[in-house]
Structure 1
Amino acid sequence: METEINLQIVLTQPPPNVLFGLQKGSGNIYETVQKQKSASQDLLFTFSIKIKGDKGEDVSPKFSGPFVQGPAGGKFVYIDIGTYAGQTDTHWSRRLKVPLTGITWELIDQLIADPALMLQAKVPGTGKDGGPNCATVKPFEGWQIKR
């Protein structure tokens, strides 16, 4: 089976005047898309990923596509921050990893049955140091069905 599903990352309350963007591609061959400079609102990044695999006992979905990063069993999506997103007038150079863990066949089946649905993850935009959140999102509340 192969299908595509829609995802949305909501970056909540990021620090102001920092550029954020979704990383498309990996290694040295990537571009930052959906660039947004933070102000006082949450930032939204909407994209799709491919799902491969056969539903079966102990068989997890396999994620792929231009936004998917990481090894099998540890896939994630990058949000580029500051200079990584192309901003030149900042000292921030960070990336935020949003894990794809918790996306199950049950959730995928719901999305296939109703194309108006998507999976949404809300992640904090500000880290403990007051700057942009970076590294792997913690705590991560997971992916929720959203209309």
Structure 2
Amino acid sequence: MTGQPITLRLRIQDPVPGVAYSLQDKKNHPVGPLVAGDGPLAFDVSVRVAPGPRFLGEFVRSEGPSRRFVYIAIGTSAGQHGSTWTRRAKIDIHTIPADLLARALEGAVLEVLLPGRAKDGGPACATVVPLEAWRVAG
């Protein structure tokens, strides 16, 4: 297996209550769905980092030569049949600063804080801009 494993924590600040969220693997299957309540949700994603850096793993997607990201599936995409929502949020990981990546390679968990809602009041989707930059989880 190529690359050293690190853990990325995707924290959703204000998810829509009653809606399912999950990680989405490369085959577009939901993994580890959670139904949102009144508080934040978090997903820990195992990613491998190879020299370059190159991001690898069952949840890492690519677009072009350098963009790497992870999807969070929402509503029916997360396996919640009957949901009024069918969305997914794209979280960029190729933008993680080198100094933080070095900390992750030493065993630190890196965390990003994401918005839970879009302007329409539904779940945030498409490319999601973090509310706070990547940091070492406290």
TM-score by length of 2: 0.90
- For 2:11 and 2:126, locate their aligned partners in 1 and report how far apart those are by CA, in whole Å: 16
Match of 2:112 in 1: 121
- For 1:24 and 1:140, locate their aligned partners in 2 and report how far apart those are by CA, in whole Å: 24
Equivalent residues in 2 for 1:1-147, closer than 5 Å: 2-25=3-26, 29-53=27-51, 60-71=52-63, 72-113=65-106, 115=107, 117-139=108-130, 141-147=132-138
How far did residue 98 of structure 1 move? 0.6
Structure 1 gap segments, 5+ residues each: 54-59
Larger Rg: 1
How far did residue 130 of structure 1 move? 0.3
- For 2:67 and 2:127, locate their aligned partners in 1 and report how far apart those are by CA, in whole Å: 11
TM-score by length of 1: 0.85
- For 2:85 and 2:8, locate their aligned partners in 1 and report how far apart those are by CA, in whole Å: 26
> 4+ residue runs of structure 1 moved beyond 4 angstroms?
none
How many residues matched? 136
Question: 8 Å contact 2:71–2:90 — kept in the other structure?
Answer: yes
Cα deviation 1:14-71 (Å, max 9, x = unaligned): 111111000122xxx2321120111101001002101111xxxxxx411110010122
CA-based RMSD: 1.7
